């Protein structure tokens, strides 16, 4: 049962300025600064995945975490500015494992996987850092100043995604933070507040996320999302576009096309993408499901989607709302395979890395219709 009782002592150099301040505020001279810390944090008494040490600045949370977890507290990593972020993960990990881990913490944008760490936004760096921490500290990851560098909405959504990933991987994660708003979203197994010395085994209910979906101009809104989608060229002029808003912020985009086929005309999902700051909590899948339910059965047409996003493929393969009509397939260029004998071993390995885990799968929506929402969105 971890009980912490220690002092931080430091010498105070006597200077003219120190003496002046002591005189101005009638402070008794003291050659030492002594701060005492006492905490009872019984985290060895039960199984847990997510813990939080939270309190205002100056409450001692960082000192307590450092004392409690030692060299496992707040690890730091070096990121090569000339390499993609995926090249900074352990060499023992496959590209499938790396992208799966990135997706699990809510960073599932393939174009951004190829970028260096320093060009990512604060929110993206926040998630990538956690992903690397989970990869390199599989037993326990302790992060100081958790969510301090991102805005509060991103912090909340990111917290929910990270907690979900930690529990799915059955790892241990401790957030050290000064913001209490993350508690509802992390749903921690335990919380310690050094400002009150209170330890609690709390598992809070995550707040409901409500997305307001509206029909929009594809030309206006697609540029906000195009760089986050693996197919980043312009959308079709005839596509019907919709945007999902969370607290007034555009967070998800879906476009739908009318496509002829031998069995008759169908609806086809042209694009669906969720902003990276809001990935990892199911917004993209929820947006896709909602739009599919609105189009399904309109004019007697069924709704089809083809995707190469690993997280979406995994979700739909298990979802009762979708039937897989074509299993995940390798999408590599057949012409490149004919030239492997003439290439160097390095080029062969490079081509294999590009093609081995690259998949696309087709799905047909088979869930319930939503005619009321379809009418409200002007779908007919």
pLDDT one digit per residue (tens) for the chain, 380 residues: 477 776 777 888 889 898 888 888 888 887 777 677 777 889 988 999 999 999 998 888 988 998 888 877 877 888 999 999 999 999 999 998 999 999 999 998 888 999 999 999 988 999 999 999 999 988 899 999 999 988 888 899 999 999 999 999 999 999 999 999 999 899 999 999 998 888 998 666 667 889 999 999 999 999 999 988 877 678 999 999 999 999 999 999 999 999 887 777 899 999 999 998 899 889 999 999 999 999 999 999 999 999 988 888 889 999 999 999 988 765 544 344 444 444 455 445 444 444 444 468 999 999 999 999 999 999 99
CA pair distance 13, 53, nearest whole angstrom: 32
Q: Domains of the chain, with CATH numbers? A: 39-200 (3.40.50.300), 212-376 (3.40.630.30)
Q: Quickly list DSSP for 144-192.
A: TTTTTTS-HHHHHHHHHHHHHHHHHHT--EEEEES-GGGHHHH--SEEE
CA pair distance 354, 177, nearest whole angstrom: 39
What local confidence, expressed as pLDDT, does residue 111 receive? 87
What local confidence, expressed as pLDDT, does residue 353 receive? 42
CA pair distance 239, 379, nearest whole angstrom: 12
What is the token pair recorded at 241?
A: 């576009």
Q: Give the residue among 238, 192, 209, 263 at the shortest CA–CA distance from 50.
A: 192
CA pair distance 136, 140, nearest whole angstrom: 9
The pTM of this model reads 0.75
What local confidence, expressed as pLDDT, does residue 71 receive? 79
Residue 367: exposed, middle, or buried by beta-carbon count in 10 A (0-12, 13-18, 19+)? middle
What is the token pair recorded at 144?
A: 């100081």
Angle at 312 between CA 158 and CA 103, to 5 degrees: 35
Q: Report phi then psi at 165, rounded to 5.
A: -65, -40
CA pair distance 315, 303, nearest whole angstrom: 17
Q: Is 81 within 8 Å of 118 (Cβ atoms)?
A: yes
What local confidence, expressed as pLDDT, does residue 206 receive? 67
Q: How large is the greatest C-alpha to C-alpha distance in the chain, in angstroms?
A: 91
What is the token pair recorded at 71?
A: 């060299």
Q: Is 254 within 8 Å of 291 (Cβ atoms)?
A: yes
DSSP 73: B
Residue written as token pair 């160097």: 344
What local confidence, expressed as pLDDT, does residue 297 receive? 94
What local confidence, expressed as pLDDT, does residue 351 receive? 45
CA pair distance 144, 358, nearest whole angstrom: 36
Q: Is 252 within 8 Å of 285 (Cβ atoms)?
A: no
CA pair distance 321, 104, nearest whole angstrom: 21
What local confidence, expressed as pLDDT, does residue 21 receive? 86
What local confidence, expressed as pLDDT, does residue 345 receive? 53
Q: Give the residue among 202, 192, 201 at the shortest CA–CA distance from 3.
A: 192
DSSP 375: H
């Amino acid at each position: 049962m971890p009980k912490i009782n220690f002092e931080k002592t430091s010498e105070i150099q006597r200077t003219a300025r120190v003496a002046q301040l002591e005189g101005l505020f009638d402070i008794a001279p003291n050659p030492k600064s002594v701060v005492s810390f006492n905490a009872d944090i019984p985290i060895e008494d039960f199984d847990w995945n997510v813990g939080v040490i939270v309190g205002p600045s100056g409450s001692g949370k960082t000192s307590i975490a450092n004392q409690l977890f030692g060299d496992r507290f707040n690890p730091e990593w070096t990121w090569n500015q000339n390499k993609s972020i995926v090249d900074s993960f352990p060499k023992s990990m496959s590209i499938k494992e790396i992208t799966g881990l990135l997706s699990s913490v809510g960073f599932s944008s393939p174009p951004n996987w190829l970028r260096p760490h320093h060009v990512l936004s604060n929110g993206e760096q926040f998630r990538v850092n956690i992903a690397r921490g989970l990869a390199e500290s599989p037993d326990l990851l302790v992060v100081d100043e958790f969510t301090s560098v991102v805005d509060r909405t991103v912090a909340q959504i990111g917290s929910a995604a990270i907690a979900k990933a930690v529990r799915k991987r059955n790892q241990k994660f401790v957030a050290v933070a000064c913001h209490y708003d993350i508690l509802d979203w992390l749903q921690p197994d335990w919380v310690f507040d050094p400002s009150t010395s209170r330890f609690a085994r709390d598992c809070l209910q995550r707040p409901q996320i409500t997305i307001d979906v509206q029909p929009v101009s594809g030309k206006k809104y697609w540029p906000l999302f195009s760089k986050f989608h693996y197919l980043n060229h312009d959308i079709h002029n005839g596509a019907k576009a919709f945007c999902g808003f969370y607290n007034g912020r555009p967070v998800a985009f879906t476009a739908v096309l009318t496509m002829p086929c031998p069995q008759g005309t169908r609806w086809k999902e042209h694009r669906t993408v969720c902003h990276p700051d809001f990935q990892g909590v199911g917004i993209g899948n929820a947006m896709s499901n909602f739009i599919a339910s609105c189009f399904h059965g309109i004019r007697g047409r069924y709704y089809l989607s083809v995707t190469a996003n690993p997280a979406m493929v995994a979700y739909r393969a298990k979802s009762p709302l979708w039937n897989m009509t074509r299993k995940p397939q390798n999408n590599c260029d057949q012409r490149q395979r004919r030239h492997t004998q003439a290439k160097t071993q390095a080029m062969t390995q490079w081509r294999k890395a590009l093609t081995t885990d690259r998949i696309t799968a087709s799905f047909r929506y088979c869930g319930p219709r939503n005619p009321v929402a379809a009418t409200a969105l002007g779908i007919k």
